[in-house]
Structure 1
Amino acid sequence: MADFSHSGGEAALLQPRSDKPVMTFGPETLRDRTDLLREINLVRQGRLVERRLFLIVINIADTKKYDEIIRVFGYKFADDLLGIRLADLEFITRRQPAFHVGFWSVGLVFEADDERDYEAALSRLLGTLAKPLICRGIPVAIKGGVGVCDLARGLGSAEDLLQATFLAGQAGAELPSGWQECNYDLSDDHRRAFALIAEAEASLATNSEFELSYQARVDLRSWRCVGAEALLRWHHPTLGLVMPDEFVPLIEMTGLVRELTAWVLTRAVSQTASWHTAGFNLKTCVNISAKNLAEPDFVRRLAALLEQYRLPPAFLELEFSERHRFENMDDAEQHLWALRELGVGLSLDDFGTGPNGFTSLETIPANVVKIDRRLINSVANNARQQALVKSLIRLAHEMGMQVVAEGLELPATQKMLLDWGCDAAQGFLINRPMPAEPFMAWLSKAFVN
C-alpha cells in the first residue's frame, strides 16, 4: 500500500512517552510504516522490559466500504470521515505514536503496565470502533477490526509480525468480538502467503506479472471449438509461477478482489472482441469471486465494459464455484438475475463435489453446469462414477442447462460423455492452457470455427 504520511525519524521514536498528547491526531500526523517496523525492533531489543508490549493494528474500514462512501458522498466526505475516526482514537495515541500501515489502517506498539491495563485499553478501543460515525450530520456505519500481537511471543521478523497482525485485524472485523490475535506460526508457507498478499497490489499496478491463459471448450458432437476459459496466472519475479488456487483466496481476504476481477474482465473481454474481429466467434468463460456480487455496481460496470469493446453479452460467461458461499444470498441472486437479463451467461463450476450442489442448482440461475474434473478423470473405470455423471447430465438437461465436462484426458471418456449426451468438454485431450497469441495460432490450425 502507498504510504501518505511523514516520517518522524529515529530521534522521535526514542522520545520518552508521556500521558499527555504530543499532537492532535489526524491523517497528517500518522508516521510511516517503516518507522513502525523500526519501533518494533527497538522495543524487542529489551527496552522497557518490565512492561507488556503489544503490536496493535486497527483496520478502520475495508476498501469495499470506502468505495461505497466515495460513490455516494465523494472523496472529501471520505477524508473527513477518516479524520473523525482517527480523532476518536486519540485516547490511545496519547501514550504512543500511531503509524500508517495500509488502506485505512493504523498500527502502534502499545506498552501496557500490566494485564489489566492492556485489557482495559483493548476494551475501550473496541468500544470506540463500534460507535456510529456522524459526518456533516449523516450517520455512516463502518465496521472496524483490531489485530493484536504479543511481542513477547512473536519470534518472526518485524515485517512478518506486522503483516500477520494486519491480517488478524481484517479477520477480526468479521468476528463478533471485533478483534483477533495474530497467527504466530510464521512458517515458510505463512511467509509465502504474507508476501503474496503484500505484493499483489503493486503487481496489479505494474501490469506485467499477471497473465491470462486460455483453454478451449469444444462441442462434443461436432468437435468444434465454441469457447475458451480464461485462466489467471501470476508470474511472480521471485516465487515463479503462482497458480490461482493459491493466491486468489488470499486476495479475497483483502479489498483487492474488486481490482483483480476488473483486471481479468477487462483483458478477457478485450481479447474476445479481438478474436471476433479475426473471425473466431468464441465465447469466453471467466471465473468470478462470490465477493464480486457484493459490489453494488458490479453489473453496471460490466455492462459498460462490454459496450466499450462492442462485445455482445452472450459471448461472455461468468463462472462461480459450487464450493463458494455468497455473503448475502438475497443480494447475490438479485445481481445474478441482472446478469442474465443483461444477456451474460452463468456457469456453475466444480459441480458434483462441493457441499451445496442441489441447493446451488436451485438458487443460482445458471445456464451451464460444469462437472468437476475429479469426477471426469475417474469415470472411465468406475461404474459408480459413471452412474453419477450420467445422472448429473440428465438432471441438468431436465433443468434446461447445458453440461460441460472438465478435465477430459482420455478418448474412452470422450466417447462415454458423447453417448450420455454431454454437450461440451475441456481438458488436456483438447489443449493445455496457453496465452492468447499461441492459443489463436493453435485455434487456426486445429479447428475451423
Structure 2
Amino acid sequence: MSDQSTPNTALARFCEKTGIPYPMFWGFVGLLIFMIGDGVELGYLSPFLSERGMPADEIAMVFTIYGVTVGVSSWLAGALSNIWGPKRVMILGLLIWSVFEVLFLIYGLQELSYSMILLTYGLRGFGYPLFAYGFLVWIAAATPSRKMGMAVGWFWVAYAAGLPTLGSLVASVSIPLIGAMATFWLSFALVVVGGVIGLVGMREAHGMQRLAPEGEKPLVSMAKNITIMWEMPKVSLAGLVRVINTSSMFGFLVIMPGFFMHTVGFSLEEWLRLLTIVFVFNIIGNLASSIISTRIGYRNTILWLGAVGSTISTPLFFFMPQAFPNDFLIASIFGAFYGLTLACFVPLSALAPALAPQNKAAALSVLSLGAGASTWVGPAVVAIFQDSFGLAGVVWAFTGLYALSAVMTAFLRDPEPVFEPTLTKTKRKIKIRAPRLDYRWAHAEQK
C-alpha cells in the first residue's frame, strides 16, 4: 500500500507506528475474536467428555481425527487462495466452522454420540485453518516484503492471544457462571462475530481476487502447491523448520501436566498458571521477534533466537524445576524463556513467501502444512521415546530437533533487505534523512 492511499486518521497513524497494515486492521481484530472463540474449548472439552463416560481411547481418537483435518486444511488454505482468492477461503472456513459446530453441539455433545462427535468435530477441523491461514496468505499478497516481518508478527500475536490464551481465560470465567454447555455456544457466537468483523471490515483488493496467474487451470495451480516442495527446496526446508518449531509444545501438553504435578509438586492451579505464563510470554515474543527481525534479518532471528534459543530453553524448562522443586518462580522464569524462544520462529512466515515471490500462497501452504504437522509430530515423539528413555529422553529428543533446525536454518537466506523503521516516536520537526537500505533507490544509482 502506498502512503497516498492511507488516510490521515488516528487509526491510520496507529497502524503506521505499530507496523499493522492499515487496510487489514479489522482483519486482525476479527482473527483475534475468532481464535478466542475457537480456543474456548481447548482446556475443557477432554474433561467434559471424560466426565460423561467417554473412554480415554475414544477421546484420543476424536482429537487425532481433528488434528489430521487441521493439518490438511492448513495446506489447503494456501492452495485454495491461489484459485479462489483469500477472502473466499476465509468465508468457506467460517461457514465450515459454524455449520459443523452447530451439528457437533446438537447431535454430538447433547446426545453424547461418539460417531457424531467424531464426524462433526473432525469436519469442523477444516474450518479455522482456512479462515486463519487464508488471512495469512492475504497478508503476504498485500504487504511489501520490507513490512512483512511486523505484519506476520501481529498475525501470530492475534492468533496466539486467542488460541489458547484468552480462549482459556474466557472458559474459566464463563463455565462457573453459565455452565459448560452454554460456554460451547458462547464459543460459537465469538467465532461468528470475529469472522464477520474480519470479512466485512477488510476491503483490501488483493484478497478479493485469485492469486494464480490469469488463465491458469485450477489443477495446475493446486499442483504448484505440491511441486514447489522439490522445485524450491529452501521452501521445503522452511516447512521442516516450522514442523519442529511447535512440536515440543504439543508434545509437552501431553507429558508436562503430570510431570509438574507429580514430580515438581505443583497443584493443578499452579500448573495452569505456569502454562498461562508460557503462552503470555510467547505472545510477547511474537511481536518482539518481529521487531528484531526488521533489524537483524529474518534468518538471523530464526537461527539464533529461535533455533539456538530453543535448543537451550527446552532442557532448562524441564531440568531446572526438578532442581528446585515447588519453586514456582524458578519454573516461571524458565517457562517464560521457553515461550519466548518458540516465538522467535515467527519470521518464518515472512521468510517463506520471500523465498518464492512469484508464488507466495504456495510457499505459505507448505509452511501451514508444517504448522499442522507439528500437532501430531510432537505427541509422536513422546510416544516413540517415552517408554524407552523416559521423560528426560523425550526432552533431549526435542532438544536435538531444535539443534537440527538451527543447522537447516543456516542454509536459508534473506532474499532482500528487510530493514524497516518500526515503533519509533516522531518529533515535530522537519528533518532530511538519507534513505535507508532499500531497493527502491537502486534505479537512481544506476543513472
Which TM bucket (shorter chain)?
Answer: under 0.3
Kindly indicate which of the two structures has a greater share of residues assigned to helix.
Answer: 2
The one of the two structures with greater contact order (alpha-carbon pairs below 8 A, sep at least 6) is 2
Structure number with larger C-alpha Rg = 1
Q: TM-score, normalised by structure 1?
A: 0.24
TM-score (norm 2): 0.24
